[in-house]
Amino acid sequence: MQYIRLSEERGHVDFSWLQSKHSFSFGHYYDPKHMGVSVLRVINDDIVAPGAGFGAHGHRDMEIISYVLSGSLEHQDSTGNRYKITAGEVQRMSAGSGIMHSEYNGSKTEPVNFLQIWIQPKHKGRKPSYQQKYIKQQGVLTPLVSETGVADSLTLDQDVLLSRLVLTKGDDYRLHDQHYVTYVHIIEGQAEIAERQFKAGDGFALAPNEAVNISAQSDFQALHFLLPND
């Protein structure tokens, strides 16, 4: 493995209304050893208290993906989009030439837990755009976001394929790609990978042509990225 990021070593931010764990440098957390992998720049594991959230703020030239793990997230932006994102749904917002948006917990009683993912786009200054969808799991590896919208996934402006990897206890799955950097962020479960133990919150990267086996020791879910080998 060319890179390992353990859950307990992530940056942690506590704003009382927000508990956030940062896989890579972000905001108040900076570590030059953890600036991202390829064009993947942010994976924040956010838990937002009931009724709280991120007020209106701006972004530009970034592909921003939200994946809701539990609860619901209220989204509103300056292009007129106003949606609720519920558990299992995927949202992609292309900030492009500039967009203002806000995100709030959609419940007054329950927290919302979601992964916030930032990917650098191929092009700058494009018109902002938005997509949202619930994508049912189809087999072990299900595309969620891709450049071309493969298998009815959401689209983004980058040569990236983001999929959901789901295994049941006792399953083995071989990770290998000839051309792309592979990055895996574990959402739930435990597994033995390359003779090491991995758990929820851990992440790791493989170089092109590197291969490892995932042996699931419990029901297991992860985000699986194929990223340009830059």
- Has residue 165 been placed in a domain? no
**How confident is the chain (230 residues) per 10-residue block, as mean pLDDT?**
96 94 95 97 97 92 97 92 92 96 92 97 96 95 97 97 98 97 98 96 98 98 96
CB 91 within 8 A of CB 117: no
- Has residue 3 been placed in a domain? no
- Has residue 166 been placed in a domain? no
Number of domains in the chain: 1
Q: How many CA atoms lie within 13 A of 104 on its CB side?
A: 15
- Has residue 48 been placed in a domain? yes
- Has residue 149 been placed in a domain? no
pLDDT score, position 230: 77
Question: What is the model's pTM?
Answer: 0.96
**What values do phi and psi take at 182, rounded to 5?**
-100, 130
- Has residue 113 been placed in a domain? yes
Q: Residue 103: give its domain's CATH number.
A: 2.60.120.10
pLDDT score, position 219: 98
- Has residue 142 been placed in a domain? no
- Domain range for 16 is 10-136
Cα of 72 vs its chain's centroid, Å: 16
CB 124 within 8 A of CB 68: no
- Has residue 179 been placed in a domain? no
pLDDT score, position 28: 86
CB-CB neighbours of 28 under 10 Å: 10
User: Rounded to whole angstroms, how far apart are CA atoms 57 and 114?
Assistant: 18
